[in-house]
A = this chain, B = another copy of it.
Amino acid sequence: MTERLFLFDTTLRDGQQTHGVQFSTPEKRKIAEALDALGVDYVEGGWPGANPTDSEFFEEAPALRATFTAFGMTKRAGRSAANDDVLAGVLNAGTPAVCLVGKTHDFHVETALGITLEENLENIRASVAHCVDEGRETLLDAEHFFDGWKANPDYALKCLLAALEAGARWIVLCDTNGGTLPREVGRIVCEVIAGGVPGDKLGIHTHDDTGNAVANTLAAVDAGARQVQGTLNGLGERCGNANLTTLIPTLLLKEPYRSRFEIGVTEEALARLTRTSRMLDDILNRVPLRTAPYVGASAFAHKAGLHASAILKDPTTYEHVEPSLVGNARIVPMSNQAGQSNLRMRLLDMGLEVEKGDPALGRILEEVKAREGQGYSYDTAQASFELVAREALGRLPHFFEVKRYRVTVERRKNKYNRMISLSEAVVVVKVGEEKMLSVSESMDETGSDRGPVNALAKALAKDLGPYQGYIDDMRLVDFKVRITQGGTEAVTRVVIDSEDSTGKRWSTVGVSPNIVDASFEALLDAINWKLVRDGAPERPA
């Protein structure tokens, strides 16, 4: 016997309250369609009339399987629901469902609204009745409900019952300032149900101000609530709303929810969850949170030596669900905690077969350990790791040698008396017996100075003689710097991502107190890795 549990998404409304987030109309449409494909039951589109984007979005409403919902607020005192222009704006959006925020905390009614408790009850009752009369599925968002209940449970309950009697399909209990803890949420939802609001008419809306938005939602479901409100990636004001990207897999994959509830998200849709989460980050131009439950890049990354070897034996030892179920993947990175079996796996992935027990395995681990002590990190810089391993295995071909380089960074007035900066790099390379000198400057096509590392990268790639054909399609696509060890003893770690015309990407690392030199090392690794990968012929020194 399963029960239906409903998912209500408010990414486009409450999610848009996030500091710095402002969706365009096409972005709203794209997100609504992704939510629909995921299988949520309600998509709340915004507040028609509150701002131009929201109004425009509702004017050309997307065709959704989900119930499209407009947000608004209960009518103001001193006028009828039919004569309230704000409410009319919401109804004019013509959505099948309407969600109205109303106050249930006596303190807010009297101080923020400045009306009597009875007037507020009447506003709720009349507004809900009006929407129902207009043929809309109506939800009441009970703002500040948990604080209201703690202050005056009788009045808070009266507000809910007023909406219910007026025909509301759902009463949504909101923890508006996010301060309520899971035990309290569970207890209060039980009390509300005992007070006469059936669980299958109750929704839960939480915020993450104590890091408990997900747990508060589950506590409400455990207590009987049957609608869950949240946002993709937990977007939302302050610390965010309940994260649907976390809740959906928990409700679908984990007990007791898996056996107990029927949810609109299919297994196929769940397998697109990671992609859906990344799509939202792309729209927001945000770096995806590595540690996000289920969908983060680190969610199934295993580092500890003990863990990594156990994972090789049986993934369930350190994974509570199979990563592919949510469209994610397992990562076993290289690090100083890794054991030999982990290392052999890694090397095999790179096409380097090494016998079990080969002493080179120990040498590689020692070398990696020593380098990590100096500030290197091979978690992401797989290409540099491969070069270290090849060196230890005696399988690193010699291609060329950099005899010297010189980079000059200058800031001075140009002929128009404006301050400009410019970098210039000279690199001297020896391939076999041939010596090559190259020079480049840091100016890009727009005349902007891109700095000394840019000049150095260009000079290094300018003339590699017989290898030129192998590196012509390489380009630097990302560049990260971090100072390991603070203070004046600072050591710089540079990680460079390169790409070639096949779309292949690889990462290399360099470390030095001198940032230019650290960058140079990473650039050199990037070229050498490409020459190895493409099977360039060796040129002994």
Binding site for B on A (CB under 8 A): 17-20, 22, 24, 26-27, 30, 50-53, 73, 108, 111-112, 144, 176-179, 181-183, 208-216, 218-219, 222, 234, 237-240, 243, 246-247, 250, 254, 282-283, 285, 287, 289-294, 296-307, 310, 313-314, 316-321, 331, 333, 335-337, 369-370, 372-373, 375, 377, 379-380, 402-413, 421, 423, 442, 448-454, 475-490, 492, 512-517, 520
Q: Are A373 and B310 in contact (CB under 8 A)?
A: no
Q: Are B421 and A486 in contact (CB under 8 A)?
A: no
Residues of the B chain whose Cβ atoms lie less than 8 Å from the Cβ of A300: 238
In the complex, A218 Cα to B22 Cα: how many Å? 35
In the complex, A316 Cα to B336 Cα: how many Å? 48
Assuming the contacts A239-B298, A291-B239, asked whether A513 and B285 have C-beta atoms less than 8 A apart, the reply is: no
Knowing that A449-B513, A479-B483 touch, tell me 4 more A-B residue pairs with CB under 8 angstroms: A17-B304, A17-B307, A237-B304, A239-B292
Q: Are A320 and B451 in contact (CB under 8 A)?
A: no
Q: Are A486 and B283 in contact (CB under 8 A)?
A: yes
Q: Are B481 and A483 in contact (CB under 8 A)?
A: yes
**Partner pick for A246 among B211, B243, B316, CB 8 A cutoff:** B211
Q: Are A409 and B407 in contact (CB under 8 A)?
A: yes
Residues of the B chain whose Cβ atoms lie less than 8 Å from the Cβ of A27: 484-486
Q: Are B450 and A514 in contact (CB under 8 A)?
A: yes
Assuming the contacts A26-B485, A218-B181, A304-B237, asked whether A512 and B298 have C-beta atoms less than 8 A apart, the reply is: no
Q: Are B177 and A449 in contact (CB under 8 A)?
A: no
Q: Are B413 and A406 in contact (CB under 8 A)?
A: no
Q: Are B486 and A483 in contact (CB under 8 A)?
A: no
Residue in A239, A287, A289, A404 with the greatest tally of chain B CB atoms within 10 Å: A239
Q: Are A375 and B24 in contact (CB under 8 A)?
A: yes
Q: Are A111 and B19 in contact (CB under 8 A)?
A: no
For A301, the closest partner residue in chain B by CB is B19
Assuming the contacts A238-B298, A487-B477, asked whether A410 and B406 have C-beta atoms less than 8 A apart, the reply is: yes
Q: Are B490 and A179 in contact (CB under 8 A)?
A: no
Q: In the assembled complex, how far is the CB of residue A107 from the closest CB belonging to chain B, in whole angstroms?
A: 9
Residues of the B chain whose Cβ atoms lie less than 8 Å from the Cβ of A476: 488
Residues of the B chain whose Cβ atoms lie less than 8 Å from the Cβ of A475: 488
Q: Are A514 and B451 in contact (CB under 8 A)?
A: yes
Residues of the B chain whose Cβ atoms lie less than 8 Å from the Cβ of A302: 237-238
Residues of the B chain whose Cβ atoms lie less than 8 Å from the Cβ of A208: 291, 293
Q: Are A451 and B513 in contact (CB under 8 A)?
A: yes
- The 29 listed contacts between A and B (C-beta, < 8 Å) are A17-B304, A18-B303, A19-B303, A20-B290, A22-B335, A22-B372, A177-B319, A182-B218, A182-B219, A209-B294, A210-B250, A210-B293, A211-B243, A211-B247, A237-B303, A239-B299, A404-B411, A405-B412, A406-B408, A406-B409, A408-B408, A450-B513, A451-B516, A452-B452, A479-B483, A480-B483, A481-B481, A481-B483, A515-B515
Q: In the assembled complex, how far is the CB of residue A436 from the closest CB belonging to chain B, in whole angstroms?
A: 16
In the complex, A341 Cα to B173 Cα: how many Å? 29
Residues of the B chain whose Cβ atoms lie less than 8 Å from the Cβ of A179: 254, 320-321
Assuming the contacts A182-B182, A250-B181, asked whether A369 and B293 have C-beta atoms less than 8 A apart, the reply is: no
For A235, the closest partner residue in chain B by CB is B291
Residues of the B chain whose Cβ atoms lie less than 8 Å from the Cβ of A403: 412-413
Q: Are A517 and B293 in contact (CB under 8 A)?
A: no
Residues of the B chain whose Cβ atoms lie less than 8 Å from the Cβ of A317: 108, 112, 144, 177
Q: Are B453 and A484 in contact (CB under 8 A)?
A: no
**Partner pick for A514 among B24, B30, B310, B409, CB 8 A cutoff:** B409
For A314, the closest partner residue in chain B by CB is B111
